[in-house]
Structure 1
C-alpha cells in the first residue's frame, strides 16, 4: 500500500547508492525536510528531465510507503533553476549557508510552509538582486529565529517602557528582551546593541528578504548584528556555527 501526492520541493542534496539510483534530500512545504529515493533517477530523462540537481525547485510526484516509512520520487518537473547562483560562487556560498541552517533545524510538516516560503524568497533575492548583503545569512538566521516565536520586543525598554529606537540598548540573551542602559539587568549574557544594528534587526523582524538592504550599515553595526544573531540563535534554537557547519550548542 502506498499514498501518492504531487508537490514542489527545493533540492538540498543528492547522492547515488547504485549505478543509476539516487537519494534526494529536499524541502517540501507540505512534508518538511525529507529524503526520498529516485530509482533510475541518474539516467531517466523522461521522468526527471535534468531536474535532479542541488538548488533546483522541482514539482515532484511522490509515493509514500507507510509500512516501510520511505518516500519514492516517481517523476519531476523543473520549476526554477536559480541560474545566477550556479555561476556566482560568492552568492552560491551565501545560499548554501542559509540552506545549512535550515537542515540543522530538522524542519517538520508543521513548520515547513513558512520556512519553505522564506527560503524560496531568500534564494530568489540572492539570484536576482543587483547587490546582496555580505551578512545576508545572518539576516536569514535572525528572521528564522524570530519567526519561530523568539522575537524580542523592539524599540522599547522591557522594564521602564522608554523608547530605545534611537539609542544604544542592551539585549539580555537569557530573557530575549531589550533594555535601556539604565534598566539593563546584571548578566554576563547581556549584549550591547548599537542603535543602527537595533533598527536593522527590527526591520528584519517586520519584513521579508526583498527589504533586507544593509548597503548603508556601518562596519560596527554589522559586527553588532553578527554578535546578536549568533548569541540569539545559540540561546533560543540551540545551534552554533563551528568549523564550517552548524552544531548543537
Structure 2
C-alpha cells in the first residue's frame, strides 16, 4: 500500500466560496490546510488593529514629551486673546512652528512676568511641533537642576552628569520651563547643555521671568553666545493671563 502523501495541494494557495453573515458570498483563502474566513472581515480586523497600534504609538510618543498634566491638551487655538498685544506674538509663534517643521534650529525665548501664559504657549507650541512627528521633551528647569545634582552623589546616582546633559542635549526639540527659578546650577552646566544643542543644531524653547541681562548672567557669556544670536525673543508684556481667563466661581 502506497502511504506517500502528495503535499502539492497543501502547499498551494486554495480558495472556496463561503457565506459570511455580514458580507454575504465571499471567496475564502486557505493555505497548508488552514482557512482564513471572510476576507472582508479579515481586512476590517487588520485595519482596526493597525489603527489601534497607531493610536498607542501616538499616545506613547506624546507621553514621552513629559508635558505637565495641566497643559497636555494645550493648543495655540485654545489660547484666549485678552490683550491686543498678544495678537502679533501668537501670529509669530504660529510661523515659528512652521519654521521648525521645515528644519529650522531657531531657539524661542518666551519672557515675561508670572501668569502671562508662557508655559501654556510653550506647551502648545511643543504639541504642534510634535504633530509633525518631531520628538520633543519638556523639562521644568528645577527638575533638570535636580537631576544634575542627583548625579553628583556617587552612592545613589543612576546617571552621571554627562549622561543627563547628553540626554537633554540630544532631544530634537527641548522646552525648558521657568528657567532661572530657584536655580543654583553653575553657568558651566548650562553652557555644556546649550553648547551641545548648538553643535547638534537643535532648537531650544525657554520660558523665563528673566530679562536679557539677567538671562546672560544666569547662563554665562559662552552659552549666551550660543543661544541668543539664533533666537526668537517673544516679550509677553500683557497682564495676568491666568486671572483674565480664570473660570473661578464667585458667590
* TM band (smaller chain): under 0.3
Give TM-score scaled by structure 2 length. Answer: 0.22
Larger Rg: 1 or 2?
2
Give TM-score scaled by structure 1 length. Answer: 0.22
The answer to which structure, 1 or 2, has the higher relative contact order (CA under 8 A, 6+ apart) is 2
Q: Pick the structure with more helix per residue.
A: 2
